[in-house]
C-alpha cells in the first residue's frame, strides 16, 4: 500500500523515543560510561570540599570575629595615644583596657635558658569578648595583680617549665602562674617564633625594656553599648587618629581582615581544584570522543532507519547528561565529606575551630560548575554524532565535516575559555590574572598537543624499520589510527606539570630560606643595645671569635612633612600618591659614610650623604621607600627626631638586596648629624654552631637583660616549619590532581584497550606469545609515559622559573630529586596501568576475550 | 496504469580521489514500478552499492536526479531524507547491521518507534513470529546466529510497511542452506506485502528470482532485462 507524505509536515521524533533509545543503548555500556565520566568526580569533590570549607569558615569568622578582636574597638599604634586621640576617646562611653606589646628576650633562671618572646602587658578586663584560655583557669585573672606571668603552652612544654617556675623579663622577675592555651588575636604559627607571655601592665616599666627606640605596640580596647554605632563613629574619626599615627579596628574590620587573610589560601586551593577538574574534563572529552567513535556503526543504522542527525546527537547527549549528573553528584557528596579533613590540615593557619556543616551552596555550585564543564567538554566530540552518514551501513566512508559543525566547535571552545575566565574572575576578582591563567593553561594544552603531533610526524618519518617486531609494533601504536598519543600526552603531561611545579616551588622556597644561613651570612642579631653596653657586648662577641659584621647606631624618628607640605596637609590631600605605611611608620635610621655590601647606588651622589658637611642634610633612601613616598632626588623631607625637627633632602637612592640577612635601612643619614640624639645600637654577627649561639644568647640575656637576641637558626626553623605545613596542604590538594590524573590515565588506557583489543587478539591468534604482547605494550606505554612526563616536567620548570623570578622575585633553584622521583613515578605508573589493562588479553583465550569485550 | 515508485534520471557519482576524480557511476537512467522486483548485478567495483545508496537517499548524486514516489530527493535536507527513509524505505544488509546494544524485538521496533507509533512492540512481536524468532525476541544480536540476525533484519525492514525495499547482498554472508531459507522468507514476505524489492547481488540465481535484472559494468548500465520467471 502506498501513501504520500507531505514533506512540510515533518514529524518530530518523540522525546520519549530518544530517552528510551538512550536508555536501551546504554545498557551494555554503563560500566564503561561510568568509568569514563568518573574522571570528573575528584575534581568536583575538591571544588566542593574547598568551597564548603570556605563558606563555613566565612560563617564562623562572622561569628567569632568579636572573640578575635576581643573588643568593639581597638586603637593601635607604635607610640602611646596622642593628646587629640586621647581627647576623642575620652568622650566615648565605654569600658576600657589597654595592652603594651613588645618583642624581647625571656630568661628562665631555673633552667638557665632563654627565648625570644612576645610580651603582652595587659591592663583592664580585656578581652571583653572571648577569653584567655589558661591552665589553671583562674590564672587568666590573677596575673595582672600578683606579678605573675602566663606563658604560652608550647613554650612551657619545650622549655620543660612548670607552674611556679621563674621567668625574667629585662630586670624584673615573674612567677609563672598559668600556661596559656589560647590568647587573643594571634594565629598559631606566629607564636612558634615568638611565643606569647602575658603580664600585668603595671610591671612593664619595672622591666626596663621600654626605652627610646624599643619596638613597642600600644593597643587600647573599648567595649561600647551594643546599640552604639561604633563603625559609623570610627569612620568619622579615623583621619583624626591617623594624624597621630594610630589605626582603628572594629569587629567588622576584623571580619574583613581575617577573610582577606584567608582569601589567598582559598584562591590557591581553589586553583588546584580547578586544575583537577580541568584534567577530569579532558578525560571526559577523550572518553566521549572514543565512545562516540565506537557508536558510529549504530548511529549509521539509526540514520538509515530514519533518525534525524539532531536526534542522533540527542540520544548520546542524554546518556552523557545522566551519567555526568550522577558523577557530579557523587563528586559533590564526596567533597562534602572530604571537607571534614580540611580543618585538620589547615589547623595551624586557623584562628579558631571551623565547624563542619554541609554547605548546600557549595554543593549546588559544584554540581552546576561540574555539569556545565562536563557538558561543554563533551559537546565537542558529541557534535560529531550529527555528521555520521547513513551510507556507512553500506561501506566505510569518511564523515564529512561541515562548516556548521566547525562553527559550533569554535563556539564551544570560546564558551569553555569564557567560563574558565569567569570562574577565575569570581574567585580572584582580578581579570588580568584570570586571563593570564587561562592563557597559560591554553598554552600548556597547545604545547602538549603540538608535542604529540610532532612525535607522530617524527615517528612516521624516521620509523626504525630495522628494530625488532615488538618494538616496531609498540612504536607504531603511537601514530596508528585510533591512537591515544595526543589525549594521553595532554592528560598525563598536564598532571605531571601541575605536581612538579608544586614540588619545584616548594623546593626553591626552602632553598632560599636555607641560603640565608649559608657561608658567611650572619645568623645572630642583637638589638636594643644601649650606648653604654655597646663595647662590652662587642667584646663578648669577639672573645668567641665571632665577626662583627654590622654594628650600627639606630635613631628613631617620624616623618613630619615632605615636598614643602606638612604631614597633616598631605593627609587631607586626596590626590597624594604616598602610601600610608611609609607616611606613618616610625623609622629606624642609622648614619654611616659607606654603602653596605648588600646595597647598590641607583641614582644621585652618595658622597653628598657621605661627607655630611654641607649646610643641607642629604640623606639616602631605599628604592622601596622613595617609590612608596613618591619622592625623588632633591625632594625635601622633614623628620621629627624625638622632638627636634630636621629638614633633609634626598641625595641618593639605593637598591637593597633582600636575599641575605642584614640590618636594612630605608633611610640613611650622613655622619655628624644624629650622634647626640637618643639612640640604641644593633650588632650583627655569625655564630659558628648552635651550641655557641645558645651560650652567647643566655649570657647576653643574663648580662644585658634589655638586649634582644634573634637567632636566625630559630627563624629558619620556624619558616621551615611553616613551609612544611604549607607543603602538607599542597600535597593534600595535589592528591586530587594525582588521583584525577590516574583515573584519566586509567580510563584513557581502558579506551585504548577497547580500540586495540581486536588487534591484540588477532596477534594472539596468529601466534604471538604472552611475552611478545607484553613487550609491545611496555614499549608503547613506556614511550607515552616518558614523553608525557618529559613535556610536563619542561612546562613545570618553565612555570616555576617564571613564578620565582616574576611573582616571588626570588632566586630560582632547581632541586632535581623530587623532579626525577615524579618523572620516574609517572613513567612507572603509566607502564603498570598499561600492563594491567592488557593482562586479560595475554592470559585468556583469544575468542573468549573477543566475545566478552567486543560482542 | 503502473505507478512509478523510483525514477533515476541521468545520475552520475564522482568521488574525489587525491588529485583526480573517480567516476563510479555515469549517466544512469531507469525507473521502477510499484510492486516490481529488480536485481542490480555486476562485478565488484561496478558501482552497485553506490547506486543502491543513491536510490535509497543515503547519498547525493554528483549529477542527475533521484525521484522516489514522485518526490525528488536531490533538494531535500538531511532531516527530510531521514523522514522519507523512515516512511517509505526498508533496508536489508549483507552484514545485517543490527544495533548491537538493542535486543531483537527492540531492533525490529525501531522504525515504528521513530514514527512515534504506539503499536511498535505488538507489530514487532508479530513480525518476529512471522520470521520464526518469537523465542529469541529478548536476545542481543551477539547471541544470535548469522541466519537469525538476517531474519531479524528482514523483520525490521518490513516493520514500517515500506513502499520500496533495498537489499544489499542479503545472503552474501550466509551458507547455502541458510541463504536459501532467507531468500524464501524475503520473497514470501514481499509477496504478502506487495512491496517493491531492489536487490544488489553477485548471485545470479538470486537475481533470476526477480522480474528484472539491471547489469552494471564500469559505472554504466550495460543491460536492463525483464525476465519471465515468477517467484515462489
CA distance from start to end of chain B: 25
* CB contact B4 to A (< 8 Å): no
Which chain A residues touch B172 with a CB distance below 8 Å?
Answer: none
Is B111 in Cβ contact with A305 (below 8 Å)? yes
* CB contact B5 to A (< 8 Å): yes
Place of cell 593601635: A76
Is B102 in Cβ contact with A25 (below 8 Å)? yes
Mean pLDDT of chain A: 80
Three-state secondary structure call for residue A70: coil
* CB contact A296 to B (< 8 Å): no
Instruction: Report pLDDT for A8.
Output: 41
Which chain A residues touch B116 with a CB distance below 8 Å?
Answer: 11, 13-14, 17
Give all strands (DSSP E) within A626-666, no chain letters: 636-641, 644-656
Is B97 in Cβ contact with A301 (below 8 Å)? yes
Three-state secondary structure call for residue A13: coil
Among A600-609, B34-43, B218-227, name the one with the lowest average pLDDT: A600-609
* CB contact B78 to A (< 8 Å): yes
Q: Which residue of B has its CA nearest to A853?
A: B142
Confidence of residue B69 (pLDDT cuts 50, 70, 90): very high
Alpha-carbon distance of A549 to A524, in angstroms, equals 10
Instruction: Report pLDDT for A599.
Output: 85
Give yes or no for a contact between B214 and B38, defined as CB atoms under 8 angstroms apart: yes
Nearest CA distance, A19 vs chain B (angstrom)? 12
Which chain A residues touch B3 with a CB distance below 8 Å?
Answer: 2
**Is the ipTM of this structure higher than 0.85?**
no
pTM (2 d.p.):
0.69
C-alpha cell at A359: 554547605
* CB contact A394 to B (< 8 Å): yes
Is A304 in Cβ contact with B76 (below 8 Å)? no
Alpha-carbon distance of B180 to A185, in angstroms, equals 93
The string of pLDDT tens digits covering residues A88-126 is 888 878 888 888 888 888 888 887 888 888 888 888 888
Is A302 in Cβ contact with B99 (below 8 Å)? yes
Three-state secondary structure call for residue B166: strand
Query: Which residue in the set B97, B101, B168 is minimally distant from A28, CB to CB?
Result: B101
C-alpha cell at A343: 580543618
User: How big is the A-B interface in CB pairs under 8 Å?
Assistant: 113
* CB contact A395 to B (< 8 Å): yes
Q: Which residue of A has its CA nearest to B49?
A: A394
To test the contact with chain B by mutation, choose from A294, A314, A394 the residue with the greatest count of B C-beta atoms within 10 A, namely A394
Mean pLDDT of chain B: 89
Query: Which residue in the set B3, B71, B115 is minimally distant from A2, CB to CB?
Result: B3
Total residue count of chain B as it appears in this document:
232
Q: In chain A, what are the domain boundaries? A: 22-68+260-398, 69-257, 414-462, 464-518+720-855, 548-685
HSE-up (13 A, CA, CB side) for residue A308: 18
Confidence of residue A228 (pLDDT cuts 50, 70, 90): confident
Instruction: Please name every residue paired with A167 in a beta bridge, in sequence order, or none if there are none.
Output: A174
Instruction: Please name every residue paired with A104 in a beta bridge, in sequence order, or none if there are none.
Output: A117
Is B106 in Cβ contact with A391 (below 8 Å)? no
Which chain B residues touch A390 with a CB distance below 8 Å?
Answer: 58, 85
Confidence of residue A854 (pLDDT cuts 50, 70, 90): very low
Instruction: Report pLDDT for A804.
Output: 79
Confidence of residue B95 (pLDDT cuts 50, 70, 90): confident
Among A284-288, A532-536, B211-215, name the one with the lowest average pLDDT: A284-288
The string of pLDDT tens digits covering residues A357-386 is 788 888 998 899 888 888 888 888 888 888
Alpha-carbon distance of A264 to A268, in angstroms, equals 6
Q: Which fold has domain B36-57+77-226?
A: Rossmann fold (3.40.50)
Instruction: Report pLDDT for B199.
Output: 94
Instruction: Report pLDDT for A9.
Output: 43
Pairing of strands A667-669, A680-685: unpaired
Mean pLDDT of A472-488: 76
| Number of other residues whose CB lies within 10 A of the CB of residue A649 | 16
The string of pLDDT tens digits covering residues A590-633 is 988 888 877 888 888 887 665 655 678 889 999 889 988 888 88
**Residues A842/A847/A849/A850 CA torsion (nearest 10 deg):** 120
Pairing of strands A196-200, A148-152: antiparallel
Which chain B residues touch A3 with a CB distance below 8 Å?
Answer: 87, 163
Q: Which residue of B has its CA nearest to A308?
A: B79
Query: Which residue in the set B69, B78, B115 is minimally distant from A4, CB to CB?
Result: B69
Instruction: Report pLDDT for A341.
Output: 76
Three-state secondary structure call for residue B230: coil
Give yes or no for a contact between A195 and A103, defined as CB atoms under 8 angstroms apart: no
Give all strands (DSSP E) within B18-157, no chain letters: 20-33, 37-41, 63-68, 71-72, 89-92
Alpha-carbon distance of A471 to A480, in angstroms, equals 14
* CB contact B16 to A (< 8 Å): no
Alpha-carbon distance of B101 to B94, in angstroms, equals 19
Residues 6+ apart with CB under 8 A from B212: B36, B37, B38, B39, B224, B225, B226, B227
Alpha-carbon distance of A563 to B73, in angstroms, equals 87
Nearest CA distance, B79 vs chain A (angstrom)? 5
Three-state secondary structure call for residue A847: helix
C-alpha cell at A481: 589510527
Is B82 in Cβ contact with A303 (below 8 Å)? yes
Nearest Cα residue to A590 out of A618, A646, A552: A552
Confidence of residue A2 (pLDDT cuts 50, 70, 90): very low
Is A297 in Cβ contact with B97 (below 8 Å)? yes
Alpha-carbon distance of A595 to A587, in angstroms, equals 19
Residues 6+ apart with CB under 8 A from B132: B151
Q: In chain B, what are the domain boundaries? A: 36-57+77-226
Mean pLDDT of B49-57: 90
Amino acid at each position: 500500500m502506498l501513501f504520500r507524505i507531505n514533506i512540510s509536515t515533518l514529524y518530530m521524533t518523540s522525546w520519549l523515543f530518544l530517552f528510551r533509545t538512550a536508555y536501551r543503548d546504554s545498557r551494555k555500556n554503563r560500566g564503561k560510561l561510568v568509568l569514563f565520566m568518573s574522571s570528573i568526580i575528584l575534581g568536583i569533590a575538591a571544588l566542593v570540599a574547598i568551597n564548603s570549607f570556605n563558606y563555613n569558615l566565612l560563617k564562623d569568622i562572622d561569628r567569632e570575629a568579636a572573640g578575635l578582636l576581643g573588643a568593639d574597638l581597638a586603637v593601635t599604634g607604635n607610640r602611646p595615644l596622642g593628646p587629640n586621640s586621647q581627647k576623642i576617646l575620652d568622650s566615648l562611653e565605654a569600658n576600657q583596657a589597654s595592652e603594651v606589646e613588645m618583642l624581647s628576650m625571656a630568661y628562665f633562671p631555673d633552667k638557665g635558658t632563654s627565648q625570644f618572646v612576645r610580651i603582652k602587658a595587659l591592663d583592664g578586663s580585656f578581652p571583653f569578648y572571648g577569653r584567655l584560655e589558661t591552665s589553671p583557669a583562674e590564672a587568666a585573672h590573677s596575673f595582672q595583680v600578683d606579678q605573675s606571668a602566663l606563658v604560652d603552652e608550647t613554650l612551657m612544654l619545650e622549655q620543660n617549665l612548670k607552674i611556679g617556675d621563674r621567668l625574667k623579663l629585662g630586670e624584673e622577675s615573674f612567677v609563672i602562674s598559668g600556661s596559656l592555651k589560647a590568647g587573643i588575636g594571634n594565629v598559631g604559627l606566629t607564636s612558634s617564633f615568638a611565643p606569647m607571655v602575658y603580664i600585668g601592665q603595671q610591671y612593664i616599666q619595672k622591666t626596663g625594656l621600654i626605652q627610646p627606640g624599643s619596638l613597642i605596640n600600644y593597643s587600647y580596647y573599648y567595649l561600647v553599648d551594643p546599640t552604639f554605632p561604633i563603625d559609623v563613629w570610627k569612620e568619622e574619626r579615623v583621619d583624626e587618629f591617623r594624624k597621630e599615627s594610630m589605626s582603628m579596628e572594629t569587629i567588622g574590620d576584623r571580619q574583613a581582615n581575617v577573610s582577606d587573610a584567608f582569601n589567598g589560601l582559598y584562591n590557591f586551593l581553589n586553583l588546584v581544584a580547578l586544575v583537577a577538574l580541568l584534567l577530569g574534563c579532558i578525560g571526559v572529552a577523550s572518553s566521549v570522543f572514543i565512545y562516540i567513535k565506537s557508536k558510529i556503526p549504530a548511529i549509521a543504522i539509526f540514520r538509515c532507519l530514519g533518525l534525524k542527525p539532531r536526534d542522533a546527537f540527542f540520544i548520546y547527549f542524554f546518556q552523557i547528561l545522566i551519567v555526568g549528573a550522577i558523577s557530579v553528584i557523587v563528586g559533590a557528596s564526596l567533597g562534602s565529606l572530604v571537607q571534614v579533613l580540611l580543618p585538620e590540615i589547615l589547623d595551624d593557619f586557623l584562628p579558631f575551630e571551623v565547624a563542619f556543616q554541609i554547605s548546600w551552596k557549595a554543593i549546588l555550585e559544584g554540581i552546576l560548575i561540574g555539569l556545565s564543564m562536563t557538558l561543554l567538554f563533551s559537546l565537542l566530540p558529541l557534535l560529531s554524532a550529527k555528521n555520521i552518514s547513513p551510507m556507512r551501513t553500506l561501506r566505510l566512508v569518511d564523515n564529512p565535516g561541515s562548516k556548521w559543525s566547525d562553527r559550533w566547535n569554535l563556539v564551544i571552545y570560546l564558551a569553555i575559555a569564557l567560563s574558565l575566565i569567569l570562574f577565575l574572575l569570581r574567585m580572584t576578582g582580578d581579570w588580568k590574572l584570570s586571563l593570564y591563567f587561562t592563557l597559560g593553561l591554553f598554552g600548556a594544552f597547545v604545547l602538549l598537543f603540538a608535542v604529540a603531533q610532532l612525535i607522530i610526524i617524527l615517528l612516521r618519518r624516521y620509523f626504525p624499520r630495522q628494530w625488532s617486531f615488538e618494538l616496531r609494533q609498540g612504536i607504531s601504536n603511537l601514530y596508528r589510527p585510533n591512537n591515544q598519543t595526543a589525549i594521553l600526552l595532554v592528560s598525563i603531561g598536564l598532571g605531571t606539570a601541575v605536581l612538579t611545579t608544586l614540588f619545584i616551588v616548594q623546593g626553591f622556597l626552602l632553598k632560599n630560606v636555607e641560603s640565608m644561613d649559608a657561608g658567611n651570612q650572619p645568623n645572630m642579631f642583637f638589638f636594643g643595645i644601649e650606648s653604654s653596653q655597646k663595647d662590652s657586648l662587642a667584646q663578648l662577641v669577639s672573645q668567641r671569635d665571632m665577626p662583627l659584621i654590622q654594628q650600627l647606631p639606630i635613631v628613631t624618628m617620624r616623618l613630619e612633612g615632605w615636598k614643602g607640605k606638612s604631614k597633616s596637609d598631605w593627609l587631607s590631600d586626596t590626590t597624594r600618591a604616598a602610601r600610608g605605611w611609609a607616611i606613618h611608620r616610625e623609622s629606624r635610621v642609622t648614619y654611616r659614610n659607606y654603602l653596605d655590601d648588600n646595597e647598590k647606588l641607583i641614582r644621585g651622589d652618595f658622597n653628598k650623604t657621605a661627607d655630611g658637611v654641607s649646610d643641607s642634610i642629604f640623606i639616602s633612601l631605599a628604592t622601596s621607600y622613595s617609590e612608596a613616598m613618591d619622592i625623588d632626588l632633591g625632594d625635601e623631607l622633614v623628620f621629627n627626631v624625638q622632638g627636634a625637627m630636621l629638614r633633609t633632602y634626598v641625595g641618593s637612592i639605593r637598591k637593597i638586596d633582600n636575599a641575605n640577612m642584614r640590618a636594612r635601612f630605608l633611610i640613611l643619614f650622613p655622619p655628624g648629624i644624629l650622634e647626640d640624639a637618643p639612640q640604641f645600637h644593633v650588632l650583627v654577627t655569625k655564630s659558628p654552631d648552635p651550641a655557641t649561639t645558645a651560650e652567647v644568647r643566655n649570657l647576653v640575656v643574663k648580662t644585658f637583660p634589655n638586649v634582644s637576641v634573634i637567632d636566625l637558626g630559630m627563624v629558619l626553623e620556624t619558616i621551615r616549619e611553616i613551609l612544611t605545613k604549607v607543603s602538607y596542604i599542597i600535597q593534600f590538594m595535589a592528591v586530587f590532581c594525582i588521583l584525577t590524573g590516574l583515573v584519566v590515565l586509567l580510563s584513557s588506557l581502558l579506551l585504548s584497550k577497547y580500540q586495540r583489543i581486536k588487534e591484540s587478539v588477532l596477534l594472539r591468534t596468529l601466534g604471538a606469545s604472552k611475552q611478545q604482547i607484553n613487550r609491545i605494550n611496555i614499549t608503547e606505554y613506556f614511550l607515552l609515559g616518558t614523553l608525557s612526563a618529559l613535556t610536563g616536567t619542561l612546562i613545570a620548570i618553565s612555570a616555576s622559573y617564571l613564578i620565582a623570578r616574576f611573582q616571588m622575585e626570588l632566586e630560582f633553584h632547581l632541586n632535581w630529586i623530587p623532579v626525577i622521583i615524579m618523572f620516574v613515578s609517572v613513567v612507572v605508573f603509566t607502564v603498570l596501568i598499561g600492563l594491567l589493562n592488557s593482562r586479560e588479553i595475554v592470559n585468556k583465550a583469544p575468542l573468549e576475550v573477543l566475545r566478552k569485550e567486543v560482542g | 496504469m503502473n505507478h512509478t515508485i523510483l525514477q533515476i534520471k541521468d545520475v552520475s557519482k564522482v568521488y574525489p580521489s587525491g588529485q583526480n576524480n573517480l567516476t563510479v557511476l555515469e549517466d544512469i537512467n531507469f525507473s521502477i514500478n510499484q510492486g516490481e522486483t529488480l536485481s542490480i548485478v555486476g562485478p565488484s567495483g561496478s558501482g552497485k552499492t553506490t547506486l543502491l545508496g543513491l536510490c535509497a537517499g543515503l547519498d547525493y548524486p554528483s549529477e542527475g536526479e533521484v525521484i522516489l514516489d514522485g518526490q525528488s530527493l536531490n533538494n531535500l535536507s538531511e532531516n527530510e531524507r531521514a523522514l522519507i527513509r523512515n516512511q517509505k524505505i526498508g533496508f536489508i544488509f549483507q552484514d545485517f547491521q543490527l544495533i548491537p546494544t538493542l535486543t531483537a524485538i527492540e531492533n525490529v521496533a525501531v522504525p515504528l518507534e521513530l514514527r512515534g507509533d504506539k503499536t511498535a512492540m505488538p507489530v514487532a512481536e508479530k513480525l518476529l513470529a512471522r520470521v520464526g524468532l518469537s523465542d529469541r525476541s529478548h536476545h542481543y544480536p551477539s547471541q544470535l546466529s548469522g541466519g537469525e540476525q538476517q531474519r531479524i533484519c528482514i523483520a525490521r525492514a518490513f516493520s514500517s510497511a515500506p513502499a520500496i525495499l533495498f537489499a544489499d547482498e542479503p545472503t552474501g554472508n550466509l551458507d547455502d542452506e541458510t541463504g536459501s531459507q532467507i531468500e524464501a522468507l524475503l520473497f514470501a514476505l514481499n509477496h504478502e506485502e506487495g512491496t517493491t524489492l531492489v536487490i544488489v547481488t553477485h548471485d545470479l540465481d538470486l537475481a533470476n528470482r526477480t522480474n528484472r535484472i539491471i547489469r552494471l559494468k564500469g559505472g554504466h548500465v550495460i543491460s536492463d532485462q525483464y525476465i519471465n520467471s515468477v517467484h515462489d
